[in-house]
Amino acid sequence: MTTQFLNNRYQIVATLGRGGFGETFLATDTHMPSARKCVIKLLKPLVEDPEVPQWLKERFQREAAILEDLGENHPQIPRLYAYFTEKNNFYLVQEWVEGFTLTQKHEQQGNFSSEQIQELLIGLLPILAFIHERRIIHRDIKPDNIILRNSDGKPVLIDFGIIKEAMGTVVNPDGRSAYSIALGTPGYMSSEQAAGRPVYSSDLYSLGLTAIFLLTGKTPQYLESDPRTGEILWRKDAPQVSAQLANVLDKSIHFHPRDRFDSAEEMLMALVSRLPNKTQGSFQNSTEATVAVSSNPKRRSRPVTRPTIEIEEEEEETEETGNPWIAWIVMPLIFLVIIVSGLAVGFLMAKKKRMQPPPPSPIESIEPTPSEPLPTPTPLVIPTIRPTPVPTPVPTPVPTPIPTPEVSPSPDPGVNPENPDNPIPPLTPIPDPTPSVQSTPIFVPTPAPSPKPSPISTPTPESKPLPENVPPAPPIEEKPVN
């Protein structure tokens, strides 16, 4: 680069690096009164034609807008100041972050401790959760792309692969895209990313290998792997690592994506779940300070506050639960007592229900009703009396009315007018006063056959003394019988 100014505004101060897609410079903005420092990235598209196609320019513009949105809404992502095109090259002007990369930090102090790695991951995972929420994959996480900021010591994620993807597209002379080059750094990118199909857990894979490099001092190419499963064997090179941190890193670098964490939030919670309260408190304070660092009110990280709330909840849970072994013993006992008491109550209620007599209300209501009419059927005894009178009238009245001459003897006792007391004999067979009622039906058929009993009507008034003559009936019986 022979020119000293870019876009007649940015003065080149130093070259920060070179790569397959371009160069990175440190420059000053001469149009600002403070002459602030900035980072300018030169991106060279892989085109065979000297003229850059229009679709590539539009894609560069869209992806630059994405970088602007990320930088404005998260304080641990550099802000985008400007972008422009010059001589078929694309330029990005970004915020300059003063600090050291993780590679430089490792060169200064050597291997990191477990506590330092935990603090580093707690500061980086919310950034990944933030960009993944916007459906963006970084694709190039490694020690050189993470800067520890001097102002607050927080990690800043730089050099997103979103622009590199556009620049890595090979363009044919006819202006159409032929293929895209896989983005990432060999050793730090997963197998699916190397195949051109990255997923969200691909960033977690790269982050896990970055942490392992800081713990062991070995790049992924120099770490042993299982020839059968492809899993990386690194624990023997970092004996100082705690078991919990080692388990989290092992899960993040599994060969197959399905065996890794589903999200950055899940990995963060697995890391923070059993940290001491002091460490959790420092993490909470650091997340609150992260939001306060930004001078722009729009720059706030939503994912940063989310794990803070979850960590507070877990602190409360750990304080309440105490020893987890006690919970494992007490909880089953509580459930057992509840089940046994429920069964006992159910058994007692069922037994009590069986011992109770049947509901008397419906039966009692039915029983009194028949008891009351029982006295009424007493007159039904009449049918018992009916058989006695029924046979008597059937033989006597039926033959008597038919033969009129035979009825004549009946008037014989009544013919004796001289002795008015003699007509009583027909009443003699009835000793009780009750047959008097029966005599009436007997007399009813007798007058019917004989129309002449006009004199008979006369004795009817005389029949009133008949009850007086009832005692002399026996002597009268002898006479008519003969």
Distance from C-alpha of 190 to C-alpha of 461, rounded to nearest angstrom: 140
Q: Which of 29, 140, 159, 250 is catalytic?
A: 140
DSSP of 201-228: HHHHHHHHHHHHHHHHS--GGGSEE-TT
Distance from C-alpha of 378 to C-alpha of 466, rounded to nearest angstrom: 32
Residue 125 pLDDT more than 60? yes
DSSP code of residue 480: H
| Superfamily of chain region 7-95 | Phosphorylase Kinase; domain 1 (3.30.200.20)
Q: What is the pLDDT of residues 294-353, one digit of tens each?
A: 334 444 444 333 444 344 444 444 444 455 566 678 778 888 889 888 888 888 888 777
Query: What would the two tokens of residue 439 be?
Result: 């005599």
- Segments of the chain assigned to CATH 3.30.200.20: 7-95
Residue 114 pLDDT more than 80? yes
- Cα 411 off chain centre by: 109
Q: What is the pLDDT of residues 263-295, one digit of tens each?
A: 999 999 999 986 655 445 544 544 444 433 333
Please choose, from the candidates 19, 36, 18, 84, the residue with its C-alpha nearest in 3D space to the C-alpha of residue 27: 36
Radius of gyration of the chain (CA): 60
Burial 192-222 (b: 16+ CB within 10 A, else e): bbeeeebbbbbbbbbbbbbbbbbbbeebbee
Provide the sign of the torsion angle of the four alpha carbons 390, 393, 396, 400, taken in this order.
negative
Q: What is the pLDDT of residues 206-235, one digit of tens each?
A: 999 999 999 999 999 999 999 898 899 999
Mean pLDDT of the chain: 73
pLDDT band (50, 70, 90) for residue 153: very high
Query: What would the two tokens of residue 285 be?
Result: 């304070």
Q: What is the pLDDT of residues 435-466, one digit of tens each?
A: 444 444 444 444 444 444 444 444 444 444 44
SS (H, E, C) 345-392: HHHHHHHHHHHCCCCHHHHHHHCHHHHCCCCCCHHHHHHHHCCCCCCC
Residue 250 is a catalytic residue: no
Distance from C-alpha of 471 to C-alpha of 343, rounded to nearest angstrom: 88
| Range of lowest pLDDT (21-30, 347-356, 429-438) | 429-438
- Segments of the chain assigned to CATH 1.10.510.10: 99-323
Distance from C-alpha of 330 to C-alpha of 97, rounded to nearest angstrom: 53
Residue 262 pLDDT more than 90? yes
Look up residue 83 and give its amino acid: Y
**Architecture in CATH for domain 99-323:** Orthogonal Bundle (1.10)
Residue 119 has a pLDDT of 95
